[in-house]
Chain A
Amino acid sequence: MNALFDTRNNPKLVWAGVAVIALTLLVLPFALAQVGTTWVRITNFAILYVLLALGLNIVVGFAGLLDLGYVAFYAVGAYTYALLASPQFGLHLPFWVILPIGAMVAAFFGVLLGTPTLKLRGDYLAIVTLGFGEIVRIFLNNLSRPVNVTNGPQGIAGIDPFSFGAFDFSKPETLFGLDWSGPIKYYYLLLAVVLMVLAVNVRLQNSRIGRAWEAVREDETAARAMGINTTRMKLLAFAMGASFGGVAGGMFSAIQGFISPESFVLVESIMVVAMVVLGGMGNIWGVVLGAVLLSFVPEILRWTVQPLQEALFGRMLVEPEVIRMLIFGLALVLVMLFRPAGLLPSAVRQRELTDERAA
Chain B
Amino acid sequence: MQHPKISLTLVAAAVVLIGCGEQKKPAAKADAAMEVKIGHVAPMTGGIAHLGKDNENGARLALDQANDANIKLGGKAVKFVFMGEDDQADPKVGNLVAQKLVDAKVAGVVGHLNSGTTIPASALYTQAGIPMISGSATNPKLTEQGFKGIFRVVARDDQQGPAVASYLATQNKPKVVAVIDDATAYGEGLANEVEKTLKASGVQVLPREKGTDKTTDWKAILTKLKGKSPDAIFYGGMDATGGPLMKQARELAVKAVFAFGDGACTDKMSELAGAAAEGLLCSQAGIPPQAASKTFLDAYKAKFNVDPILYAPFTYDAANLIINAMKRADSADPAKYLPELEKGVHNGASGRIEFDSKGDRKDAEITIFVMKGGKIEPIAVVKGGKTQAYADFIKAMGG
Contacts and interface: CB of A to CB of B under 8 A. Distances in A.
Given A38-B103, A321-B44, A153 B95 contact: no
B150 to A, nearest CB: 13
B91 A263 contact: yes
A260 interface: yes
A341 to B, nearest CB: 30
Contact of A256 (B86, B92, B100): B92
B96 A45 contact: yes
Nearest to A299: B96
Interface in B80-98: 86, 88-92, 95-96
Contact of A41 (B86, B90, B91, B95): B95
B119 interface: yes
B96 A322 contact: no
A142 B183 contact: yes
B210 interface: yes
B102 interface: yes
B185 A41 contact: no
Looking at chain B, what size class is its interface with the partner chain? 20 to 34
Contacts of A152: 183, 188
Nearest to A258: B120
Given A42-B96, A257-B120, A325-B45, A263 B90 contact: yes
Contacts of A155: 91, 116, 119, 185
A286 to B, nearest CB: 25
B34 interface: no
Contact of A257 (B88, B123, B139, B188): B123
B102 A37 contact: yes
Given A36-B103, A260-B91, A141 B183 contact: yes
B5 interface: no
A145 B208 contact: yes
Contact of B99 (A38, A144, A319, A322): A38
Contact of A258 (B45, B86, B91): B91
Given A36-B104, A38-B103, A41-B95, A262 B119 contact: no
A142 B210 CA distance: 9
Interface in B180-198: 183-185, 187-189
A262 B89 contact: yes
B141 interface: yes
B44 A153 contact: no
Contacts of A325: 45
A250 to B, nearest CB: 15
A7 interface: no
A252 B91 CA distance: 11
A229 interface: no
A157 interface: yes
A153 B45 contact: no
A153 B184 contact: yes
A36 B185 CA distance: 31
A37 B104 CA distance: 10
A66 to B, nearest CB: 25
Contacts of A37: 99, 102-103
Nearest to B208: A145
Given A37-B99, A41-B99, A260 B116 contact: yes
B392 to A, nearest CB: 36
Contacts of B119: 155, 157, 258
B81 to A, nearest CB: 13
B91 A256 contact: yes
Interface string A185-225: 00000000000000000000000000000000000000000
Given A38-B96, A262-B91, A325-B45, A154 B139 contact: yes
Interface string A24-63: 0000000000001110011001000000000000000000
B123 A263 contact: no
Contacts of B92: 45, 252, 256, 263
Contacts of B88: 321
A107 B89 CA distance: 30
A157 B189 CA distance: 15
A183 B99 CA distance: 10
A141 B104 CA distance: 35
Contacts of A277: none
Q: Point out which of B44, B123, B185, B189 has the most chain A C-beta atoms below 10 A from its C-beta.
A: B185
Given A256-B91, A263-B92, A319-B44, A157 B120 contact: yes
Contacts of A321: 44-45, 86, 88
Contacts of B208: 145
B120 A41 contact: no
A96 B240 CA distance: 45
Contact of B91 (A45, A259, A322): A259
B100 A38 contact: yes
B380 to A, nearest CB: 29
Contact of B120 (A141, A142, A256, A302): A256
Contacts of A320: 86
B120 A154 contact: no
B384 to A, nearest CB: 26
A302 B84 CA distance: 11
Interface string B255-280: 00000000000000000000000000
A88 to B, nearest CB: 13
Contacts of A45: 92, 96
A101 B272 CA distance: 48
Interface string A255-283: 01111101100000000000000000000
A144 B188 CA distance: 10
A66 B91 CA distance: 28
Interface string B128-141: 00000000000101
Interface in A140-173: 141-142, 144-145, 152-155, 157
A263 B86 CA distance: 16
Given A152-B188, A154-B139, 6 more contacts: A36-B104, A38-B100, A41-B95, A145-B208, A153-B184, A262-B116
Interface of B: 44-45, 86, 88-92, 95-96, 99-100, 102-104, 116, 119-120, 123, 139, 141, 145, 183-185, 187-189, 208, 210
16 contacts: A36-B100, A36-B103, A37-B99, A37-B103, A38-B99, A38-B100, A41-B96, A42-B96, A145-B208, A152-B183, A153-B188, A155-B91, A157-B141, A258-B120, A320-B86, A325-B45
7 interchain residue pairs of minimum CB distance: A36-B103, A258-B120, A38-B99, A38-B100, A321-B44, A321-B86, A153-B185
Interface of A: 36-38, 41-42, 45, 141-142, 144-145, 152-155, 157, 183, 252, 256-260, 262-263, 299, 302, 319-322, 325
